[in-house]
Structure 1
Amino acid sequence: MENSHRFFENRECKYFPCHKGLEDFNCLFCYCPLYNKESCPGNPKFIEKEGRMVKVCTDCTFPHQPENYDKIVQILKSR
């Protein structure tokens, strides 16, 4: 893959794929670096658990889409 430093796919992972529906699945951001951001470009849901709001990213594929690498890096740089 072109720009291979931006893409990593681990088909040997016992959780692969952790999200369904993607043809090219980027595992580079396995643990989303945007999780702690209240506002992120993905589609998280928020649920209340024990009196606290918890971000749930189960249905979010944003960090696993190869074309979003630059967007994620840009967001991280703007901290």
Structure 2
Amino acid sequence: MIELAKKHLKKVLRVCGANRNCQYYPCHFDGQVCLWCYCPFYPCGDEELGEMIKRKDGTEIWSCMNCIWVHKPEVACEILREILELTKDKEIDEAIGILNNRELMMKIKENVEKKVGKNNNL
């Protein structure tokens, strides 16, 4: 394998695999897929995956600290597949504009749940 390919593959594995070099790894479970470090559905409002919590200042915020769903390999891959299908012929800024639609993102979440389930347990 040429060096440029190795370098690129390392970058892909860091993003798509278990990023054991991250100072926060594992933030959910050992062997998690880190592709969705920042969940594309946040805040999903799904009480099977997260909950509202109070901050120190008394305001509330959505917490997905106990959600492992998006970090499961089959779920992470299916989310990516859904997103790529919608954006495959788009430039990056246009794709982000499309995906910046909450209703669309919740539809993607629903589609993934139908395909792979929504079990939030290991």
**Taking structure 1 as the reference length, what is the TM-score of the superposition?**
0.64
Q: 1:32 pairs with 16, 25, 39, which one?
A: 39
Q: 1:58 pairs with 56, 60, 65, which one?
A: 65
1:47 aligns with 2:53: yes
Deviates more, 1:46-55 or 1:28-37: 46-55
Three-state SS of the structure 2 residue aligned to 1:31 is coil
Find runs of 4+ consecutive structure 1 residues off by over 6 angstroms.
Answer: none
Contact 2:32 2:72 in 1 (8 A): yes
* Aligned-CA RMSD value: 3.2
Three-state SS of the structure 2 residue aligned to 1:78 is helix
Three-state SS of the structure 1 residue aligned to 2:70 is helix
Which is strand-richer, 1 or 2?
1
1:76 aligns with 2:82: no
Distance 1:65 1:58 in 2: 15
- Structure 1 unaligned spans of 5+: none
Write the deviation string for residues 37-65 of structure 1: whole angstroms up to 9, x where unpaired.
Answer: 3337x510112445644211111111111
Query: Number of matched residues?
Result: 72
Q: Which of 1 and 2 has higher RCO (CA within 8 Å, sep 6+)?
A: 1
Which is helix-richer, 1 or 2?
2
Distance 1:29 1:14 in 2: 16
Residue type matched to 2:35 in 1? Answer: L
- In terms of Rg, which structure is larger? 2
- Percent of pairs identical after alignment? 29
